[in-house]
Amino acid sequence: MDSLTHIVLGAAIGEAVLGKKIGRKAMLWGALADTIPDFDVFASPCFTNAQQLMVHRGITHSFLFILIMAPLLGWLFYKWYKRPDVSQGRWTLLFFSGLFTHILLDSLTAYGTGWFEPFSNYRVSFNTIFVADIFYTLPFLICVLVALIAKNSSQRRIKWNKAGLWISTLYLVFTILNKWHINSVMEAGLAKNNIAVTEVVTTPTALNNFLWMSYSPDATGYWFGYYSIFDKTKDVQFYHVNKKDELLARFEEDESIKILKHFSKNYYVMSQHDSSIFFNDIRFGQMGGWNGPDSAFVFSYKLNKNADNSTALDRSRFKTSFSDAFSSLVKRIEGK
């Protein structure tokens, strides 16, 4: 999830665990605990563009990292704070809760989280919520801000913090149930159109959990479909995009391409514009894909050959303005 969401969640956890003992500072340390796994971004300059994809949400998002860091940070803060009424175990609980909820929340997105690093580089992704969802974060943020300005240990502070935790948790439950519903709609739509695929993958579109995308592989590429829970019918319109693996032939043995394939879980299509070749990770959809197959993919990498014949990756940028893209998204969410 985005940084703001982790800060808000961590602050609420900090208040729940230590708010009665140390007041508002509990929110600060809770926010820190829930942000620590994303400190891996500071290591990015040490790696290539492709390697950075695997470094982020890697070892710092693993169970091993939590098991080492939670008691270590708990001990350090216990020694530093020197509050006899706050035990080392309580500090450890705060950091464990922050670190654990961080990697749990990240695993609900499509990006993939390295729970089992360094023993396995498998990335866990449940695809139930987008990496930034305003309907999850905004109500939670309001509740935490109200709790923050309330007096220490007051009933108002406790109630608003609990409300934020309950509302956010219930929303996550909604996203899981919603995914089950969307899966059934997409599967039924493919069957109705006599489209044979090997699997059906569904994931929400940007900033919301109401408009969903599905991508379903066949022998030559993927069938894409979009469905909003506000659509008047369940007749999903699907379109096909060829994988075009032949465009990848001259890059096949390059280490960067191997990383991209692993990162994308092999859910990708290739495309060519003029003389440029692009690797498109399809898990995050197309910006405006609900309008047709020609929309740009959110995660797209231009493949170039350096002088030493190694592959250089350049992340593609959108040509569509944010306001136009957001307007199109809202219009499609409203249903058709």
309 pLDDT exceeds 60?
no
- Report how far residue 175's alpha carbon sits from residue 137's, in angstroms, rounded to the nearest whole number: 13
* Alpha-carbon distances of 279 from 72, 111, 238, 243, rounded to whole Å: 41, 16, 22, 10
- Pair (16, 99) in one structural domain: yes
Residue at 155 is within a domain: yes
Q: What are phi and psi of 124, to 5 degrees?
A: -85, 130
pLDDT of res. 320 = 67
Output the six-digit token pair for 31.
């926010």
Arithmetic mean of pLDDT over the chain: 92
The predicted model scores a pTM of 0.93
Question: In this structure, what token pair is assigned to residue 322?
Answer: 């944010």
For residue 76, the model assigns a pLDDT of: 97
> Which of 198, 136, 186 is CA-nearest to residue 8?
136
* Same domain assignment for residues 167 and 110: yes
pLDDT over 60 (residue 40): yes
Could you tell me which of 133, 166, 109 has the C-alpha nearest to residue 4?
Answer: 133
In a domain, 181, yes or no: no
Residue 171 inside a domain? The answer is yes
Specify whether 25 is located in the same domain as 113.
yes
In this structure, are 163 and 215 located in the same domain? no
Cβ atoms within 10 Å, residue 237: 13
Higher local confidence (pLDDT), 178 or 251? 178
**Once rounded to an integer, what is the mean pLDDT over residues 276-286?**
91
Residues 247 and 297 in one domain: yes
Same domain flag for 50 and 84 = yes
> 248 and 229 in one domain?
no
What is the count of structural domains for the chain? 3
Q: Which of 222, 238, 254 is the last residue of a domain?
A: 238
- As a whole number of angstroms, the distance between CA 28 and CA 170 comes to 24
How does 253-273 read in b/e, with b if 16+ C-beta sit within 10 Å? ebebbebbbbbbeebbbbbee
To which residue do tokens 């006599």 refer? 194
Supply angle C-alpha 116, 112, 211, rounded to 5: 150
Residues 113 and 219 in one domain: no
6-27 average pLDDT score: 96
Range of the domain at 195: 186-238
Q: What is the pLDDT of residues 55-96, one digit of tens each?
A: 999 999 999 999 999 999 999 999 998 888 999 999 999 999
278, part of any domain: yes
pLDDT value of position 302: 85
More confident residue, 50 or 16: 16
Across the range 201-222, mean pLDDT stands at: 97
